[in-house]
Structure 1
Amino acid sequence: MPVHFTISDHDANPVERHIEAITSNADLLARTWGRKANTIRCKELLQTSLVNPDFSAIHEKNNGFVDTVLNAYNQHHHLVLRPDDVWIAILGQFNFYVNAHAEELRQHFVAHEGQKDLLIRAVGTRYSVDFGLLANRMTELIDENIVDKTLKNWILPNFTTTTHNDTVIYLIIHLFSYFRYGLQLMCGIPSVTLEGEKEDWEKILARLDKLNEFGSEPTAWGALLRPICTRFVKAFDNQPDVDFWKKVCHVHPNFSGPSYLSGWITAFCVWDTAGKWQGPSLTTSPSNEPFHYLSGDIAQLVMDGVQYGIIKEHAVPSGVCEVPVNLDDNGTLFDCTMVSGHVASLVEGEKKDTVRPLPVWFMFIHEDEELNLKGRGR
């Protein structure tokens, strides 16, 4: 059963919105993914995992996982996390790394050169077909072409909290580039709720071992994630590490003020969206000290001998991944994109003082990218 524990003595604050409320799913897409896409624009949103949501409870974020945790810490909100939230955040970072190192990692994933076309056929139109199910079928095709047959099961968990929409998000993140597819801060979190069962969180911890197969950067990243996930698991043994949660943002508990992050949340920001490493030095030696000074009063967090990085708040990477899809709707071809990941915080509770990351997926047609192929002999 879920575990709940208190981190700070102060009361939780209601979440305040300082900008205009979201009005639609298309508006949410435009405010999140749309802001980072320089060349592609959404002409028509075909489908999304959000069905009749309460938009007043959705607050858009650049990275819906990292930013939700940061806001809970900085603004005094209760925090709720599912194992799926953590695993989606991990896979999102891994996606950035793989796509940036596609050639050097090719032998782990595929036997073909370049990009291989994968085609899914389904009955219906772009308005009636279930793109979530098509993502599932696309993953089955990928599984047939992938070298490492254990990869699919590693990516797709079976947590007690996993929903159908979570699975679709995992599947979209799974679509790597080897294929073409058709402030003044406040401080402290009042309380944390980890949903699911202890076994769910143990599965995440066990999955980290596979990262060692993909090179020095993923190996170092696994070492950063292991102390974090270990403490998630121990919380279910009535051993919540309160000091750990106080260091989520900064090495010094309940610290506030600087424009950089030095807490363990940096482990979810080790690659930027281009897949460039921005984590701690890969050559650091294990340390027995609780923190390591770089210069002056700037210190790195150390947990279980592992040194964590320091990252500017503006360098927190996006929480979403994307994959291009060529859609043939009964002879009319559309250039489309599927987007998935953490795009917002969901505000909950009678007092509106509790937040959780909100994972969402979208499927949309590119603006001015419709090509009618009827009569072209296709």
Structure 2
Amino acid sequence: MPVTLKTSDKEPVAWTGWRCENAENFLKDACKTEYYRCKQILQSSITRLPDASQTHISPSTHGFVRAVWHAYSDHHNLILRPEDVWFSILVQLSFYIQAHSEELREHFVEHEGQKHIKVIEAGTIGSVDVGQLAVQLTGLIQQNVVDPELRDWIMPSFSTTTTTDEIVAAVIMMGTMQKYFSYEMEMTCGIPIDKISTLGEEPTHFASLLKPVLEKFVASFDDSFPDVTDFWNQMGHGFSAFGTQTERDFYGPQGLEWAENTYPRINTSDIPIGCVSVPVKVNDNGCELKTSMVAGMPFSGWWMFEELSETALTEKKEKERLREEAFYEEIRKRLEP
């Protein structure tokens, strides 16, 4: 059941940021590294957006954190779902597991190297639903991992969970496990955090910082917690859009003390990305494509794109660099007296 909290007497201000209306621009602003590698978008949930007049989406590299920050700083309404919080946790955990894949291997699989898993579907890359094929691949991952509950733990099952949310979670799971598995799709004719603490010291500390925050999210549904409003009123405390406040030491003395924990300060410019990408080999009726799938939040979305060659990638980056230089040079000229 939706719950509305009023945390300020100020009237909320409508969001007036740039409106994104297509999959390519969405990918460019949300996942810039993947955008540079993109030759063409093969499929995406973003192409299924509602009428542009009914939506106002402004993508960024970590949409969840940026949405909270802008709402806090500029008095916008903020709408959050359980999936938004859960995906934010999963993406960060994915980065950790990929960086420590070998020391964590025994927690997830019994095999060495990467095991190749494949799903087969009748049709072509233009007719099959690659999102659902990604969900099928997570079923094959589950058959080859040590933990019998891993897939159920990752996949969201909230009352607000949509089909797109399930696909986003599937891509995140594939990306998290990509050091242990490689993936292929062949086309033919015709918020439970206990498990995090089992992954080592850093994830255990991560979980200890998450727990009191998640408790306040849950407490937002209960009027018996008067300090919930205070929590939301301090959610962006200490941020600096220009980086004048910084604390790069995760355990440093300048971190925020709250709920008997020390929370690190972070520049808004240092907020990590909020998406996961994973390479997927596509066999489209004998035509092999080198592709990647990307997924992120808080506006749940995913893409599959064909990758550029190294030469084309270099050329695209150079064109983008020159375009940005020309843009800023034009601004500089306009500001000259």
TM-score > 0.5 by shorter chain: yes
Of 343, 360, 367, 2:308 maps to 367
Of 299, 302, 307, 1:358 maps to 299
Deviation at 1:27, TM superposition (A): 2.0
Aligned counterparts of 2:272 and 2:245: Cα–Cα separation in 1 = 13
8 Å contact from structure 2 (residues 278, 293) kept in 1: yes
Once the two structures are superposed, the pairs formed by residues 98-177 of structure 1 within 5 Å of their partners are: 98-175=97-174, 176-177=177-178
What is the letter of the counterpart of residue 182 of structure 2? R
In the alignment, structure 1 residue 87 sits paired with structure 2 residue 57: no
Of 211, 223, 229, 2:196 maps to 211
Of 272, 276, 299, 1:321 maps to 276
Closer, same or farther: CA 163–123 of 1 in aligned 2, 3 Å: same
Question: What corresponds to 1:36 in structure 2?
Answer: 33
SS in 1 for 2:220: helix
Deviation at 1:76, TM superposition (A): 1.1
Question: What corresponds to 2:313 in structure 1?
Answer: none
What is the letter of the counterpart of residue 181 of structure 2? F
Question: What corresponds to 1:287 in structure 2?
Answer: none
Deviation at 1:37, TM superposition (A): 3.8
8 Å contact from structure 1 (residues 3, 236) kept in 2: yes
Question: What corresponds to 1:227 in structure 2?
Answer: 212
In the alignment, structure 1 residue 280 sits paired with structure 2 residue 264: no
SS in 1 for 2:63: coil
Deviation at 1:362, TM superposition (A): 0.7
Closer, same or farther: CA 30–257 of 1 in aligned 2, 3 Å: closer
In the alignment, structure 1 residue 49 sits paired with structure 2 residue 45: yes
Higher strand share: 1
More deviation, 54-63/172-181: 54-63
Where do 5+ consecutive residues of structure 2 fail to align?
A: 185-190, 311-337
Aligned counterparts of 1:261 and 1:250: Cα–Cα separation in 2 = 11
Aligned counterparts of 1:245 and 1:300: Cα–Cα separation in 2 = 18
More deviation, 331-340/301-310: 301-310
1:38-89 CA-partner distances (Å, limit 9, x unpaired) = 8x52122111113143446111111011111111111110101000110011
What is the letter of the counterpart of residue 296 of structure 2? G
Question: What is the TM-score with the length of structure 1 in the denominator?
Answer: 0.74
Closer, same or farther: CA 324–32 of 1 in aligned 2, 3 Å: same
Deviation at 1:29, TM superposition (A): 1.2
SS in 1 for 2:193: helix
8 Å contact from structure 1 (residues 260, 313) kept in 2: no
Closer, same or farther: CA 139–257 of 1 in aligned 2, 3 Å: closer
In the alignment, structure 1 residue 242 sits paired with structure 2 residue 229: yes
8 Å contact from structure 2 (residues 277, 293) kept in 1: yes
Question: What corresponds to 2:267 in structure 1?
Answer: 312
Aligned counterparts of 2:75 and 2:82: Cα–Cα separation in 1 = 22
1:215-245 CA-partner distances (Å, limit 9, x unpaired) = 0011000000100111111121112511111
Aligned counterparts of 2:244 and 2:201: Cα–Cα separation in 1 = 25
Aligned counterparts of 2:290 and 2:24: Cα–Cα separation in 1 = 17
The number of aligned residues is 296
1:250-302 CA-partner distances (Å, limit 9, x unpaired) = 25xxx76762678xxx9xxxxxxxxxxx7732xx8xxxxxxxxx3xxxx4222
1:299-324 CA-partner distances (Å, limit 9, x unpaired) = 42222211100111111011100000
Higher helix share: 2
8 Å contact from structure 1 (residues 260, 310) kept in 2: no
Question: What corresponds to 1:353 in structure 2?
Answer: none
SS in 1 for 2:10: coil
**Which fold has the larger relative contact order, with Cα–Cα distance below 8 Å and residues 6 or more apart in sequence?**
1
Deviation at 1:158, TM superposition (A): 1.2
What is the letter of the counterpart of residue 301 of structure 1? L
Aligned counterparts of 2:169 and 2:157: Cα–Cα separation in 1 = 11
SS in 2 for 1:250: coil
What is the letter of the counterpart of residue 217 of structure 1? E
Closer, same or farther: CA 256–365 of 1 in aligned 2, 3 Å: closer
Aligned counterparts of 2:307 and 2:58: Cα–Cα separation in 1 = 25
Aligned counterparts of 2:34 and 2:41: Cα–Cα separation in 1 = 15
SS in 2 for 1:81: coil
Question: What corresponds to 1:78 in structure 2?
Answer: 77
What is the letter of the counterpart of residue 146 of structure 1? V
Closer, same or farther: CA 327–261 of 1 in aligned 2, 3 Å: farther
SS in 2 for 1:59: coil
Cα root mean square deviation, aligned: 2.2
Aligned counterparts of 1:83 and 1:210: Cα–Cα separation in 2 = 18
What is the letter of the counterpart of residue 220 of structure 1? H
Closer, same or farther: CA 256–135 of 1 in aligned 2, 3 Å: closer
Once the two structures are superposed, the pairs formed by residues 294-305 of structure 1 within 5 Å of their partners are: 294=253, 299-305=254-260
Aligned counterparts of 2:249 and 2:167: Cα–Cα separation in 1 = 29
Aligned counterparts of 1:302 and 1:258: Cα–Cα separation in 2 = 23
Aligned counterparts of 1:211 and 1:109: Cα–Cα separation in 2 = 12
Question: What corresponds to 1:259 in structure 2?
Answer: 243
SS in 2 for 1:333: strand
In the alignment, structure 1 residue 180 sits paired with structure 2 residue 182: yes
| Structure 1 stretches of at least 4 aligned residues deviating more than 4 Å after TM superposition | 255-258
Closer, same or farther: CA 328–260 of 1 in aligned 2, 3 Å: farther
SS in 2 for 1:93: helix
1:5-59 CA-partner distances (Å, limit 9, x unpaired) = 1111111112122x5x4342122112321x2248x52122111113143446111
SS in 2 for 1:65: helix
